[in-house]
Chain A
Amino acid sequence: MMAVTIRLQREDFDAASEAAALTRGRTDIGAVVSFIGICRGDEAGEPIAALTLEHYPEMAEAEIRRHVEEAQRRWRLLGVTVIHRYGRLTPGDNIVLVVTAASHRPDAFAAAEFLMDYLKTRAPFWKQVERPDGKSWVDAKANDDAAAERWSAAGARAGRRGA
């Protein structure tokens, strides 16, 4: 059974309880990977006071769901939870949580990394930073695009796992 939870929310999340919720009452899960993205106190080498995340709610949910489905096609997964926050966050705050559950660790690790790489470049969220001298939008990073791109190549080569 594959449990999928996707939430976009202003509130904080608790990574440990989200991971526990995925495994509760199950004995088929042997590996859980949690990734937590956290607001840093600097952006492009300059200190920041806060980060505001804007999003396109209806599309963000649909886009994340499409990528979770793609992850399910590529790896043997038993559960996925994705939580992405929006609104104003300050350094040290949680931004995003990806939890993947599988029987064995390679599927859980790979799916978590795949989902994060795609979230960074395809999920409709935009970061604006606040500095003492004003606000500015964060530029997309070329290495994030490259990180997402390598999965297209890998997917074409490996195809569906077990196939």
Chain B
Amino acid sequence: MTMKIRYFAWVRERLGKTDEEIELPPGIATVADLMAWLAKRGEEYAHAFENPRVIRAAIDRSHVKPDARIDAAKEIAFFPPMTGG
């Protein structure tokens, strides 16, 4: 399964990329699983995802919790807590 992942703010800066297409291995069921898997992809990923509790996620442009299932997702985004307004 291929999905688009987008990164914002310091998550994007630490990874040095705004988005990527990822071929997901079997066994990755939730947002938390995906973060744990991403964290093992290299030094910059380990840095970006070193504290997954502070990272927020959205599936198809809606906020989700870490236990949200990702099987039907087209686009997943990771970002720090929001500071707009």
Binding site for B on A (CB under 8 A): 37, 53-56, 58-60, 62-63, 84, 95-96, 116, 119-128, 137-141, 144
Residue pair B61, A62 in contact (C-beta under 8 Å)? yes
Please measure, in the bound complex, the distance between the C-alpha atom of A58 and the C-alpha atom of B80, giving whole angstroms: 17
Residue pair B58, A116 in contact (C-beta under 8 Å)? no
Which chain A residue lies CB-closest to B6? A56
Nearest 8 interchain pairs by C-beta:
A125-B84, A140-B81, A120-B85, A126-B9, A59-B61, A119-B85, A138-B83, A127-B83
Does B51 sit at the interface, judged by CB under 8 A?
A: no
Chain A residues whose CB sits within 8 angstroms of the CB of B58 once the complex forms: 56, 59, 124
Chain B residues whose CB sits within 8 angstroms of the CB of A126 once the complex forms: 8-9, 79-80, 82-84
Q: Could you pull out 17 A-B pairs where Cβ atoms are within 8 angstroms? A: A37-B85, A54-B8, A55-B8, A55-B84, A56-B61, A56-B77, A59-B61, A63-B62, A116-B85, A119-B84, A120-B84, A121-B82, A125-B82, A125-B84, A127-B83, A139-B81, A140-B80
Binding site for A on B (CB under 8 A): 6, 8-10, 12, 58, 61-63, 77, 79-85
Please measure, in the bound complex, the distance between the C-alpha atom of A35 and the C-alpha atom of B84, giving whole angstroms: 14
Chain B residues whose CB sits within 8 angstroms of the CB of A144 once the complex forms: 85
- Would you give the shortest CB distance from A28 to chain B, in whole angstroms? 29
- Would you give the shortest CB distance from A69 to chain B, in whole angstroms? 13
Please measure, in the bound complex, the distance between the C-alpha atom of A95 and the C-alpha atom of B84, giving whole angstroms: 9
Which chain B residue lies CB-closest to A119? B85
Residue of A120, A121, A124 with highest tally of chain B CB at under 10 A: A124
Which chain B residue lies CB-closest to A127? B83
Chain A residues whose CB sits within 8 angstroms of the CB of B82 once the complex forms: 120-126, 140
- Would you give the shortest CB distance from A8 to chain B, in whole angstroms? 10
Which chain A residue lies CB-closest to B9? A126
Chain A residues whose CB sits within 8 angstroms of the CB of B85 once the complex forms: 37, 84, 95-96, 116, 119-120, 123, 125, 144
Please measure, in the bound complex, the distance between the C-alpha atom of A9 and the C-alpha atom of B34, giving whole angstroms: 32
Please measure, in the bound complex, the distance between the C-alpha atom of A158 and the C-alpha atom of B77, giving whole angstroms: 34
Please measure, in the bound complex, the distance between the C-alpha atom of A139 and the C-alpha atom of B8, giving whole angstroms: 14
Residue pair B84, A127 in contact (C-beta under 8 Å)? yes
Given the known A-B contacts A56-B77, A59-B58, A122-B63, are A128 and B9 also in contact in the complex, defined by CB atoms under 8 Å?
A: yes
